[in-house]
Amino acid sequence: MNIFASLKLAAVAAAAALFPTTVISETAGINQTALATRGMFFVGGEYAGPEDNRVMHGQMYVEVLTPKQVTQPYPLVLIHGAAQTATNWMMTPDGRKGWADYFADQGYVVYLVDQPARGRSAWHPGIDGELRMYSAQQLERLFTAPEVLGNWPQAKLHTQWPGTGRMGDSIFDAFYATQVESLKSDVETQELARKAGAALLDRIGPAVLITHSQSGLLGWVIADARPDLVKGIIAIEPSGPPFHNSAKDNPPAREYGITDIAVAYDPPISGATELQRERQTEPEAADMIACTLQKEPARKLANFQDIPVLVTVSEASYHAPYDHCTARYLQQAGVPADFIRLPEKGIHGNGHMMMLEMNNLEIAKMLSGWIQQKVN
């Protein structure tokens, strides 16, 4: 290792220790074999509400796992999806090692967040917006038992969820117990996360973002706010496809293509209506949708040109018919984006919650390999 690499690793470790944190654990447990410390802190936030009854709004809870030996040049920031919290990354519902500890084992400093107004990041009535909650039946169909309940072509290929994936099964019940209310407004969610995510990167320095599902939107807006501090993005089944909600044309969504709030384009735009769009005449395959992309000549995503991105989708997820559209949109906009379907890597049977499924560490290993190859 040369002196510059050694200095970079020292800087990553120092950033994790520089600011005051509450240390949760200094001992290595069954799922923390490589950890030196596990701490927490908050970033962002501002006072809001009546002058005589102020509360802090928009702050974000951050948990940090620091390995005994930091061997990776950039930390990872893991951002959960809708109705979830940082617990997604910590351990599977059947008690196996989660991605957070796996990546710490590989020498990464790992930051886990609860999105603003979610989980340990306080939501305030009258200040923060309306909440939504997913039912157990929704999660059975979309996440844990699509092979029985799903209505998309790939659903029958799902095999990797531990247990039956149905209410009354102890593993499903343990998973559903982790679900929480989340903000109903995607615009509000993105605005809050843009501020808090920028504050986190200002504090910890350059990092790789790993997003999942709804937080795919947050990765894009955080990178747009701090392009020099985002060294790469892994977008696991991000909300999509561009301009539409899921695989349907109605209702429209993400008027800025991949986001609901403004991101920078080149040539610049004064509003979303300046993004001219057109639909592909034919889908890429019979079990995929035709994508809506920009009309050529396409504008570039101005702040993403030097950020390597991986969009990945599992074999059986409800995202399988359309996540290629997000990758195609990024590529058309000049982003160095890769698209990987897990079956192309010999990884089969996964659904949307791949980080919790039986082969979760096989997937994490593949993602770590991509980081090693693409992030400089």
CA distance 189 to 129: 9
Three-state secondary-structure class, residue 49 = coil
Q: Nearest 5 degrees, angle CA 139-CA 142-CA 146?
A: 110
Which residue spans within the chain are E strands per DSSP?
A: 22-25, 35-43, 46-48, 55-57, 60-67, 76-79, 110-114, 131-132, 182-183, 207-212, 230-236, 265-266, 277-279, 292-294, 300-301, 309-313, 337-341
Q: Taking 80 as the threshold, does the pLDDT of residue 96 lie above it?
A: yes
Tell me what pLDDT residue 4 has. Answer: 44
Percent of the chain whose predicted confidence (pLDDT) is above 70? 90
Asked if residue 65 lies in contact with residue 90, where contact means CB atoms within 8 angstroms, the answer is no
Q: Taking 50 as the threshold, does the pLDDT of residue 118 lie above it?
A: yes
Tell me what pLDDT residue 28 has. Answer: 38
Q: Taking 60 as the threshold, does the pLDDT of residue 173 lie above it?
A: yes
Tell me what pLDDT residue 68 has. Answer: 93
Asked if residue 315 lies in contact with residue 349, where contact means CB atoms within 8 angstroms, the answer is yes
Tell me what pLDDT residue 246 has. Answer: 74
Tell me what pLDDT residue 41 has. Answer: 98
What does the domain layout of the chain look like in residue ranges?
3-374
Mean pLDDT across 309-338: 98
Mean pLDDT across 326-332: 98
Verify cis geometry, omega within 30 degrees of 0, for the bond prior to 146: no
pLDDT tens by residue, 330-342:
999 999 999 999 9
Residue 239 annotated among the catalytic residues of the structure: no
Of 214, 220, 136, nearest to 175 by C-alpha is 136
Note the residue count of the chain.
Answer: 376
Helices 3-18 and 186-204: angle between axes, nearest 10 degrees:
120
Contact residues for 60 (Cβ-Cβ < 8 A; gap 6+): 42, 43, 44, 45, 113, 114, 115, 116, 121, 193, 196, 197, 199, 200
Q: 117 vs 17, 130, 186, 284, 294, CA distance in Å?
A: 26, 10, 12, 39, 33
| Segments in the chain forming alpha helices (H) | 3-18, 99-105, 136-139, 146-149, 170-176, 186-204, 216-225, 323-332, 360-374
Asked if residue 234 lies in contact with residue 371, where contact means CB atoms within 8 angstroms, the answer is yes
Tell me what pLDDT residue 376 has. Answer: 85
Tell me what pLDDT residue 245 has. Answer: 83
Which residue among 182, 213, 215, 239 is the active-site one? 213
User: What pTM, to 2 d.p., does this model score?
Assistant: 0.93
- May I ask the CATH architecture of the domain 3-374? 3-Layer(aba) Sandwich (3.40)
CA distance 218 to 134: 20
Q: Nearest 5 degrees, angle CA 151-CA 155-CA 157?
A: 155
198: phi > 0 → left, psi -120 to 50 → alpha, else beta; which?
Answer: alpha
Q: How far apart are the first and last CA of the chain?
A: 15
Mean pLDDT across 265-275: 97
